Amino acid sequence: TSAAVSNPTLFFNGGILQGEGVEHATRRIKDLDNVFQDTKVFGKTDPETLVYEVSSFLPVAEGTPGGLYFGLTHIHPGKVGNEYFMTKGHFHALIDRAEYYWGIKGEGVLILMNENREVWAERMFPGSLHFIPGRVAHRVANTGSQLLSFGASWPADAGHNYEEIRKNGFARRLIDKNGIPTLI
């Protein structure tokens, strides 16, 4: 008897996930209200400008206890005023759920904030690995001149709470200060 060796349900193709259960999302300037500080420059930026793309593999139903999700995020290089292109950022809806991020391509900074609004940051680069504990909001900025790609894996019951960050933001912002990424 011979056991069949099957193809994987999932594969990478030029940084994009392909297979059953994969979803793609794009985030353009017009989707990122309340993210950047300089509302004047933001208002003058072409609303169709692509800021980041996410492809996610969601093999189990959202909310499944013990399930795991996988995502690939690509943040384009760019700035709004002196602030780097970045993700919206979020706490998890089930706030104690943790997550891994890891750098694949390009240069960036992972910005983290706990519930006391204390902010810290870690450099992200190809091979960097980041454990994001529960109860910590997370956002990534592309500080380089190339595409920034990173992987993520999080529990299927974590969910995303965007509202808190949308309303109150992060307590510190990452800006380009004379060419140096600086938390202010």
The yes or no reply on residue 160 touching ligand PA5 (CB under 6 A) is yes
Read off the tokens for 178.
């004379």
The residues binding Ni ion (CB under 5 A) are 99
Q: Between the CA of residue 59 and those of 81, 93, 157, what are the distances in Å?
A: 39, 19, 12
Q: How far apart are CA 53 and CA 149, in angstroms?
A: 10
Which of 153/182 has CB closer to ligand PA5? 153
Q: Does residue 95 interact with ligand PA5 by CB under 6 A?
A: no
What tokens does 13 get? 């193709």
Residue 181, Cβ density class (10 Å: 0-12 exposed, 13-18 middle, ≥19 buried): middle
Through-space distance between the first and last CA atoms of the chain, rounded to whole angstroms: 65
The single residue among 10, 54, 60, 183 that binds ligand PA5, judged by CB under 6 A, is 54
Task: Work out which of 29, 45, 51, 71 binds ligand PA5, going by CB under 6 A.
Answer: 71
Residue 89 or 106: which CB sits closer to ligand PA5?
A: 89
Residue 86 gets which letter from DSSP? B
Is 117 a residue that touches ligand PA5 (CB under 6 A)? no
Q: Which stretch binds ligand PA5 (CB under 6 A): 15-23, 38-46, 81-89, 115-123?
A: 81-89
Contact status: 90 vs ligand PA5 (CB under 6 A):
yes
Which residues make up the interface to ligand PA5 (CB under 6 A)? 54, 71, 73, 87-90, 99, 152, 154, 160
